[in-house]
Structure 1
Amino acid sequence: MNFAATASLAFAMSTDAFAAAVGKGAALQRPQLREALRTGAIFGVIEGLTPLLGWALGNAAAPYVQAWDHWIAFILLGALGLRMIHEGWGEPDAEVDRPDSHSFLRLAVTGMATSVDALIVGAGLAFIDVNIFVTAAAIGFATFVMVTLGVMLGRGLGKLAGKRAEIVGGVVLIVIGSLILVDHLRAAAG
């Protein structure tokens, strides 16, 4: 994957965490930078580690599915993108948008819930030639930045922006999955 694809993937992976962070920020009276940075760090570390776990699991299965790897990546990214678009059009989840507190445990659980997609993406990336450590670091960094911004902007943007960000992230995932498929099909034909 080139720089643009890695950056786009990192952005797409951070949008659901951004949506959750907007809700977290909206619940605060006045979001403080310290709380935003703390929330961003927790989400970013979790989101950066889950693709590594997914990649390791996908790598274990790679010898058995090499002939179909590009289709697997396309289907996983496409399905995840469609799910994100669907959720972006839905009603906000009361648990994410109205948190009781900002304890470490609640932030970590929310971070893990929003990183399931990064686990799936990591598994899909095991089937293509990609530096998973660079990709995971990019996902973690993008999530840190987006969550920090989401908490700070949460009060002003509210629920609408969080849902729109999830739709954009879903579209980006579908485009990346399609590009992977097209690249592999062109290489096989040419």
Structure 2
Amino acid sequence: MTLEKGIYILTGIMASGKSTIAQMLSEQFEKSVHVRGDIFRKMIVKGNINMTPEHSQSAVEQLKLRYKMAAQIADMYYKLGFSVVVQDTYLGKEVVSFLEAFESKPVYYITLNPTIEAIIEREKKRNKTGYTVWEVEPLYSVLINDNPRIGLWVDTSNMTPEETLSEIIKCIQTEGRIK
């Protein structure tokens, strides 16, 4: 299955499969980069402000900076001939401005959307704990109620990673650009 060179953005809440699918998707290209947007948060040594349900304006500003850096890095790699897979939790009203930050085209926006039950089960099996500040249900609610209904939404609840990747590729090939 061949995909065109582009910028592929994978989002979803924690334990939805973003890291796994983003890595698998980036391996589909001859030249590719996997940008893990969360790395920009992790780079802050002191002064990191987590996005919480009762977040501050300072937390939003750090989030916007993280999104902007991911978009700029993706554009830079794309302009050097790479396909770029960007992966992070992109939620709420900031999604639209994040997508507008990309200079390069095409951009594909993909939301992994397993059920709450599937997320809870996956979280139990992970070797890391994502849900320390948020509970699954409120974060899922933000995704469902506040995210724009753009791009490709995939319910991966009963899919293996390989099936998820196959579904994404099939949809991109049949529907074209999904931003």
Q: TM-score range by the shorter chain?
A: 0.3 to 0.5
| Greater C-alpha radius of gyration | 1
Return the TM-score normalized by structure 2: 0.33
Which of the pair is proportionally richer in strand?
A: 2
Structure with bigger RCO (C-alpha 8 Å, 6+ apart): 1
